[in-house]
Structure 1
Amino acid sequence: MKPQRSKTRIRLRTLCSALILCATATAASAADTSRAAGGVGRTSEIDHALLWGRSIDQVSSVMAMKLGFQVRPGRNPDGVANRYVRFEDRSYLELFGIERADAKMDPGMQADQASLHGGPGARTFGLRSSILEQAHAWLQAQGFAPTPVFTASPDDPDGDGPTQPPRWRLFAFERPVLSSHLFYIDYSTLEATPARVVDTRVAYEHPNGARALSGIWLLSADTDADRKRFERMGFSGATPIRFPQIAARGYCIPVGEKRLLALQPDGAGVAAEALRQGGPQLLGVSIEVQDIDRAQRRVERGYDATMSRYRGLQGDAFLAPTQADLGLLVEFHASGSGMACAARSE
């Protein structure tokens, strides 16, 4: 009987060892997944939002004359013109306008226009990631179906030429992952020519004192769905919020040092009417300004109207009456009010 007991003990030890190895591997896998999710979240930032005007001249005029931004030149390839409002933290707003009836549009533009029907507004935004390929692989593993990574053309007139890395790389998604369209993007470091150094410095000088695109507001009928998908994408820490100025509620989701608001109507008001008329959308953006008094006076002159100040998620703020002009709300808020999401009800 001793040999039999010995064999039994060996089998038990082997089984225990296998269980320990399996548990260790499972824990390591979970840790790797957690690190990957955290890495994607930690290295992502709000990069820019795409804003369509009725024409490029119309949207440029509103941004410059009424709101006090500096609008920078862009291009006009295939009948869709673009312009830029750039900020010192590298975030920006990209302005679009269809300039001819036979304009050629990429799938993202076509998706926006299917919702906007030629009117003004925003349906798409981008997150900047310094680990674009890793983010792509991890999001694919989570079942989000990202597209292949696209790159700028080798002869991009704003790049450094075909022998250098492409000016930008990005991927979107084959199927919508949020209530509004999302893509990830990264940029190469271009040669610091004297002209570029001057252009970059000048681009950040705004009459209204704007410093950063600090927040993007997603409007839908189901904020929980957006919040849960963002968690799966590596963005945790959502905080319940209410936004009484537009009759909305939902979640504030930290993205780097900035905020993404996932909102839904909270009774009758601005949010409910916007959702009724336009469906899911980028309802608004938050802009950090150096001097809130100066910015408010600049916008009041632009719209020939008095605007009320309120205590918002990012401190002292006011809303510009831009919805009719831009199909988008623009909130200006003071600098230095802290960046962590915090619940606020008034």
Structure 2
Amino acid sequence: MRILITIFILIYFVSATNGQIPSPNFISIDHIPIAVKNLDNSRKEFSDLLHFKVKNGKEHEGIKNYFIKFEDGTYLEFTTPIDSLQTIGKYYADFLKNRQGGTSLAIAVKSSDTLINYLNAQSIVYNIDSNRIWKTIEPKGFELFFIDYADKQWRDSKTNTTHLNTASSLKSAYILSPDINTDVKKYKLFGFSELKKGSFLNIPYRHLIIGDSHLYLLEAYKSKKITRFLNQQDLIGICGFEIKVKALSTLNKLLEKTDRVIIDKNRTIVYLQDLNLFFVFTE
């Protein structure tokens, strides 16, 4: 036992001295906030067309929102500003001046203290916000933040996480990157590890992981096969999600057959033009 403890300490020390956050601190991509102009229209699209169970949120800090929650604790948060004089409301109002779509990645961590020690050692400036449920740490100048829950075992009710389309998890995120090499370095700085290079719809990507989640950085300037289905042709940033489902056959029977629904053998891709997003459903 002492030998194992010593080995673990050595691994931790080597990781820290190499300027890396110890990878066991990361759980997964916790959720992704998505800015929308009209909550009612987007809610109807997700409930009536994609057959998700939608959980309504409430008005707070200048915004109003709703959620799509999954049984493993991951979720998508859809937000619109209602008061741009408040800080968070202003953030979403400013974001929507450019486009609708994903704003940032929220990464769940086991220990906020471990993360804070790392950020301090790297001289990375960050903001902290906390309440009785969670603490968030947001590095300045980056489209991601970290969240540490007081109760890491908490999950929403089965009523809110049971979907007619059998969705069970937010597994991956896709980002259109104008400079992949720079972005890979950025995400590695914050704990992501690179697996491999590959392609999605013939678009080159770099595949990264953090905890149980995956991140695909796609080359934005080669992304016409995606953006032709979306409103913004020069789109960069968060553009898609991989959603794990229990039965693709069930999902496919529910979906309306249009040119924006692509059904392959092992996946189904759905494009949401107005929101500048696509969903990749896999078993």
Task: Please classify the TM superposition score into its range, dividing by the shorter chain length.
Answer: 0.7 to 0.9
1:213 and 2:213 equivalent? no
Partner of 2:4: none
SS of aligned partner of 2:157: helix
Partner of 2:7: none
- Deviation (angstroms), 1:41: 5.7
**Which structure is higher in helix share?**
1
Unaligned runs of 5+ in 2: 1-9
Which whole-Å CA distance do the structure 2 matches of 1:253 and 1:41 have between them? 16
**Which structure is higher in strand share?**
2
1:332 and 2:281 equivalent? yes
Return the TM-score normalized by structure 1: 0.70
Which whole-Å CA distance do the structure 1 matches of 2:71 and 2:42 have between them? 21
Partner of 2:130: 151
- Deviation (angstroms), 1:111: 4.2
The partner residue of 2:236 within 277, 280, 290 is 280
Partner of 2:263: 309
- Deviation (angstroms), 1:281: 1.4
Which whole-Å CA distance do the structure 1 matches of 2:72 and 2:211 have between them? 12
| Superposed CA offset, 1:32-53 (max 9, x none) | 5168835246524110011122
Q: What letter is aligned with 1:200? A: S
Which whole-Å CA distance do the structure 1 matches of 2:11 and 2:34 have between them? 43
SS of aligned partner of 1:185: strand
Unaligned runs of 5+ in 1: 1-26, 153-165, 335-346
- Higher Rg of the two aligned structures: 1
Which whole-Å CA distance do the structure 2 matches of 1:279 and 1:307 have between them? 20
Go from structure 1 to structure 2 and tell me whether the alpha carbon gap of 1:139 and 1:280 turns closer, same or farther (over 3 Å shift). farther
Contact 2:27-2:212 at 8 Å conserved across structures: no
Taking only the aligned residue pairs, the percentage that are identical comes to: 20
Return the TM-score normalized by structure 2: 0.84
Partner of 1:250: 205
1:120-159 paired onto structure 2 within 5 Å: 120-147=100-127, 149-152=128-131
Contact 2:54-2:68 at 8 Å conserved across structures: yes
Contact 1:40-1:129 at 8 Å conserved across structures: no
Which whole-Å CA distance do the structure 1 matches of 2:181 and 2:150 have between them? 35
Go from structure 1 to structure 2 and tell me whether the alpha carbon gap of 1:118 and 1:263 turns closer, same or farther (over 3 Å shift). closer
Partner of 1:9: none
Contact 1:47-1:92 at 8 Å conserved across structures: yes
Go from structure 1 to structure 2 and tell me whether the alpha carbon gap of 1:34 and 1:233 turns closer, same or farther (over 3 Å shift). farther
Which whole-Å CA distance do the structure 2 matches of 1:87 and 1:184 have between them? 19
| Superposed CA offset, 1:217-255 (max 9, x none) | 1112111111112222232233101112xx521211012
- Deviation (angstroms), 1:264: 1.2
Go from structure 1 to structure 2 and tell me whether the alpha carbon gap of 1:103 and 1:113 turns closer, same or farther (over 3 Å shift). closer
Q: What letter is aligned with 2:60? A: P
Partner of 1:321: 271
Which whole-Å CA distance do the structure 2 matches of 1:237 and 1:78 have between them? 36
Q: How many correspondences in the alignment?
A: 273
Partner of 1:66: 49
After superposition, the CA RMSD in angstroms is 3.0
Which whole-Å CA distance do the structure 1 matches of 2:260 and 2:58 have between them? 36
SS of aligned partner of 1:37: coil
Go from structure 1 to structure 2 and tell me whether the alpha carbon gap of 1:95 and 1:29 turns closer, same or farther (over 3 Å shift). closer
Go from structure 1 to structure 2 and tell me whether the alpha carbon gap of 1:190 and 1:205 turns closer, same or farther (over 3 Å shift). same
Which whole-Å CA distance do the structure 1 matches of 2:32 and 2:208 have between them? 17
Contact 1:296-1:307 at 8 Å conserved across structures: no
Contact 2:171-2:244 at 8 Å conserved across structures: yes
Q: What letter is aligned with 1:255? A: I
Which whole-Å CA distance do the structure 2 matches of 1:73 and 1:285 have between them? 21
SS of aligned partner of 2:193: coil
Deviates more, 1:259-268 or 1:216-225: 259-268
